[in-house]
Chain A
Amino acid sequence: SAVISQKPSRDICQRGTSLTIQCQVDSQVTMMFWYRQQPGQSLTLIATANQGSEATYESGFVIDKFPISRPNLTFSTLTVSNMSPEDSSIYLCSVPGGAGGRGTEAFFGQGTRLTVV
């Protein structure tokens, strides 16, 4: 399985500011995914980070609020912009398993626990 490192593991931020979350994988993968887990709820896919092209966002999520970078095949960042308390969540990075990221399963980082005050 892939080893995924997310930074920071947690943060407390002031409303109106932005936070950039980093995701580093120990192997090259074609796609990386960002999920949000709001308090007491399940995971919702925010976007798919594609290397060399713009991220693909799911319904309800927009690039201005959640800009994503994917400079290479092992790294991605998610920025939560102009934060409000409603953005308080756990944000998780995910990558496909298997050789070259072509497997059927997904592996997850430890998550970034964000609290907006």
Chain B
Amino acid sequence: AQSVTQLGSHVSVSEGALVLLRCNYSSSVPPYLFWYVQYPNQGLQLLLKYTSAATLVKGINGFEAEFKKSETSFHLTKPSAHMSDAAEYFCAVSEGTPGGGNKLTFGTGTQLKVEL
């Protein structure tokens, strides 16, 4: 069974400050890990994914995440927050099975607020 824990349901940062959203996972097999963003009244947009290649993954909008097996973590970061980054962010895990790994287990989400 897989699970994802996102620490902090709400995170607030100042514009220009570092964004750090935490995600820890549990999986009995090598996982695929994802970060999605959801803007108000919209669907989910894929930010980035880890699929056992490079442990530091770069995504869209300046976000990146680092897979740390020893810590079972996949934290999302962005060096400098922008007002447009305000949204809800979901970490998700799936079994590392190509073509079959799309059944996702989601974390509870982190609402990011960016203040002037």
Contacts and interface: CB of A to CB of B under 8 A. Distances in A.
Contacts of A31: 102
Interface in B78-112: 90, 94, 98-99, 101-109
Interface of A: 1, 4, 30-31, 33, 41-45, 48, 92, 94-98, 101-111, 113
A113 B44 CA distance: 14
Interface in B22-37: 32, 34, 36
B51 interface: yes
A45 B4 CA distance: 14
The 3 closest A-B pairs by CB, nearest first: A102-B99, A96-B102, A110-B43
A105 B44 CA distance: 12
A95 B46 CA distance: 12
Interface residues of B, number: 24
Contact of B90 (A4, A42, A102): A42
Given A33-B103, A107-B46, A110-B43, A42 B109 contact: yes
B42 interface: yes
B6 to A, nearest CB: 9
A1 B45 CA distance: 11
Contacts of A111: 42-43
B98 A42 contact: no
A104 B101 contact: yes
Contact of B104 (A1, A45, A110, A113): A45
A105 B102 contact: yes
B4 to A, nearest CB: 9
Nearest to B91: A42
Contacts of A103: 99, 102
Given A43-B90, A92-B43, A111-B43, A106 B102 contact: yes
A18 to B, nearest CB: 23
